[in-house]
Chains A and B, each alone.
Chain A
Amino acid sequence: MTIEWGWFPDHIDEMTRLTADHLSTALSAVFFGLLIALPLAVIAHRFRPLRGFVLGLSNILYTIPSIALFVLLLPVTGLTRTTAVVGITAYTLVVLVRNTVEGLDTVPAKAREASTAMGAKPLRTLFTVELPLALPVIMAGVRVATVMSISLVSVASAIGQGGLGQLFIDGFQRDFPTLVIAGVALTLLLALVADAVLVTVQWLATPWTHKRGA
């Protein structure tokens, strides 16, 4: 197997476009995933009996093979990016819901109680006390969901929405290993960079977790 290095400089534009597509599909999925997971998790956390149901539901979604999910969505949303985003969003839920519920569990009861006792209404306590304190665990979920989404986008090549995954498909079909290598390397790089960015965001957003000394 030989790599034709000359291919790379000639295809910078294509690689850039595919990387951008890939990233935007993955990030959209994480964004919508959070939008759905946060309220679900808050409800599951507040109403104990619903916890098993909500966590179970997100687990079940996760067990559907990804290709099958894309195929199931085809009649509704067609060969569009929407199909890819919707499918991947469904997968992110399993970690986003679970981590948000667990994050809310880590909020000290005294902090929640103090907020209420000082006259904050429940929604204000949620946004100013509970979610910020749950952030470290939620962000851990966001990191897993992001890396997972970046890898799942490639599977959406099956419906023509694969981003960098398109490179492997083309590479296999044309028996041209350089493309396969390029696709794998760029996907990996994207995942690493995205994760590093998220770690930085988390560090900046949770200053209280890394200020030491009495």
Chain B
Amino acid sequence: MIKFDEVHKRFPNGTTAVHDLSLEMPEGQITVLVGSSGCGKTTTLRMINRMVDPTSGTIRLAGKDILESDAADLRRGIGYVIQQSGLFPHRTVLDNVATVPLLLGWGRKKARSRAAELLETVGLAADAGKRYPHQLSGGQQQRVGVARALAADPPVLLMDEPFGAVDPVVRTQLQDELLRLQKDLAKTIVFVTHDIDEAVRLGDRIAVFRTGGHLVQCAEPAELLARPADDFVADFLGAERGLKLLSLSTLAGLPQGPAPEGGRWELALDSARKPLGWRDGDAAADSPLLPVRALRDGDSLLSAVNESIASPAGLVARVDADGVLTGVTARAEIHDHAGEAHISAGAAA
């Protein structure tokens, strides 16, 4: 666990970047620091690995005041990922990843074999190791950045807008990968972003900052979305706050009925009973099917609301893990359920 206790940072030029911050970042969880540009997120993050030292207050890592450790030793036990990855342009990808193991004196051979293993872990092909960073795409570079931070298996990972410079599709992939990795690794991750959607997707806890380095609210995503502490947080969460909350719950509990028969809309299935599309009984027999996006139990309530609106029949097709139809759920049922989800998230908070 990382514990900030009344931490204040004032730079020599008089800027207060972090204002009396008390905050706990629980072990094995992702704590996201979110807020608009200049509100002190990076400074907060960099105080953890002593790239910046606080003006006053204490920061404890696993119970120990970080100022008591040697800065270089402390840093070798904390992974650090920055935007555009900060890779070393003159080292091959493999040697980039091997950096910290080499610093720790593992020896070249062991460091490189560990690096090769990590490239695989983050989903890069083995031959990427021989390349130089500029020979990779932006998304691949970020993966290398993550692999490099994980190389010596540090318990703590600091990530400063690591996916800020890649396009939205790749960003979503990288976020998914991070969540997948985190399931196995259970690192204590502090993740900085200015993107509230990213915060909601990734965070076990979200700390919202306001300009001047003030922490406004720190809560689990559902609580934050259901009960923002004040107008500032509510504004920051945006007009789609309700929909964002739906992205946090799944369809799992929603009842389903049999697919409609005999009405205007029928669900066309293939021989394995996988949905193909909606057939319009009022249209000519050879007109094309209208698209269906069948959902699994693990899909979010938000995608169900979306599909219920997009579906011409007003029904959401539900499938099992293999894509085989299990039933349908009506629009009205989904909307009722969504409203209840919102209320119960608020009540739990």
Is there contact, CB below 8 Å, between A117 and B75? yes
B103 contacts which chain A residues (CB < 8 A)? Answer: 118-120, 124
A120 contacts which chain B residues (CB < 8 A)? Answer: 72, 99, 103
Residue of B nearest to A212 (CB): B135
Asked if A113 meets B88 with Cβ closer than 8 Å, knowing A118-B100, A119-B100, the reply is no
A111 CB within 8 Å of chain B: yes
- In the assembled complex, the Cα of A11 lies from the Cα of B103 at a distance in Å of 56
- In the assembled complex, the Cα of A39 lies from the Cα of B264 at a distance in Å of 84
Asked if A208 meets B90 with Cβ closer than 8 Å, knowing A117-B49, A120-B103, the reply is yes
Residue of A nearest to B73 (CB): A119
B132 CB within 8 Å of chain A: yes
Is there contact, CB below 8 Å, between A114 and B75? no
Instruction: Report A94-130 CB contacts with B as 1/0, cut-off 8 Å.
Output: 0000000000000010110111111111001000010
A6 contacts which chain B residues (CB < 8 A)? Answer: none
- In the assembled complex, the Cα of A18 lies from the Cα of B215 at a distance in Å of 75
Is there contact, CB below 8 Å, between B137 and A110? no
Asked if A133 meets B75 with Cβ closer than 8 Å, knowing A117-B80, A118-B103, A119-B103, the reply is no
B75 contacts which chain A residues (CB < 8 A)? Answer: 116-119
Q: Closest CB-CB distance, A30 to chain B, in whole Å?
A: 23
| A110 contact from B82, B132, B148, Cβ within 8 A | B82
| B88 contact from A114, A119, A207, A212, Cβ within 8 A | A114
B88 contacts which chain A residues (CB < 8 A)? Answer: 111, 114-115, 129, 133
- In the assembled complex, the Cα of A73 lies from the Cα of B99 at a distance in Å of 48
Q: How large is the interface on A (under 10, 10 to 19, 20 to 34, 35 or more residues)?
A: 20 to 34
A135 contacts which chain B residues (CB < 8 A)? Answer: 90
Asked if A110 meets B84 with Cβ closer than 8 Å, knowing A117-B51, A119-B76, A120-B103, the reply is yes
A124 contacts which chain B residues (CB < 8 A)? Answer: 103
A76 CB within 8 Å of chain B: no
- In the assembled complex, the Cα of A211 lies from the Cα of B148 at a distance in Å of 21
A212 contacts which chain B residues (CB < 8 A)? Answer: 135
A171 CB within 8 Å of chain B: no
Q: How large is the interface on B (under 10, 10 to 19, 20 to 34, 35 or more residues)?
A: 20 to 34
Is there contact, CB below 8 Å, between A214 and B82? no
Instruction: Report B100-135 CB contacts with A as 1/0, cut-off 8 Å.
Output: 100100000000000000000000000000011011
A132 CB within 8 Å of chain B: yes
A206 CB within 8 Å of chain B: yes
Is there contact, CB below 8 Å, between A114 and B87? yes
- In the assembled complex, the Cα of A117 lies from the Cα of B99 at a distance in Å of 11
- In the assembled complex, the Cα of A120 lies from the Cα of B82 at a distance in Å of 16
Is there contact, CB below 8 Å, between A211 and B100? no
B252 CB within 8 Å of chain A: no
A114 contacts which chain B residues (CB < 8 A)? Answer: 80, 82, 86-88
Is there contact, CB below 8 Å, between B90 and A132? yes
Is there contact, CB below 8 Å, between A118 and B76? yes
A49 CB within 8 Å of chain B: no
- In the assembled complex, the Cα of A115 lies from the Cα of B80 at a distance in Å of 10
Instruction: Report B51-93 CB contacts with A as 1/0, cut-off 8 Å.
Output: 1000000000000000000001111100010101011111100
A65 CB within 8 Å of chain B: no
| A208 contact from B49, B89, B100, Cβ within 8 A | B89
A213 contacts which chain B residues (CB < 8 A)? Answer: 135
Is there contact, CB below 8 Å, between B80 and A133? no
Residue of A nearest to B83 (CB): A110
B84 contacts which chain A residues (CB < 8 A)? Answer: 110
Residue in A110, A113, A117, A121 with the greatest tally of chain B CB atoms within 10 Å: A117
Query: Besides the contacts A116-B75, A119-B100, A214-B135, what 15 more A-B pairs have beta carbons closer than 8 Å?
Result: A111-B86, A113-B86, A114-B82, A117-B51, A117-B80, A117-B82, A118-B99, A118-B100, A119-B74, A120-B99, A206-B90, A208-B89, A211-B131, A211-B134, A214-B136
Q: Give chain B's interface residues, CB within 8 Å of chain A.
A: 49, 51, 72-76, 80, 82, 84, 86-91, 99-100, 103, 131-132, 134-137, 148
Can you list 9 A-B pairs, Cβ within 8 angstroms, ordered by A? Answer: A113-B86, A114-B82, A114-B86, A117-B80, A119-B74, A119-B75, A133-B90, A208-B89, A214-B135
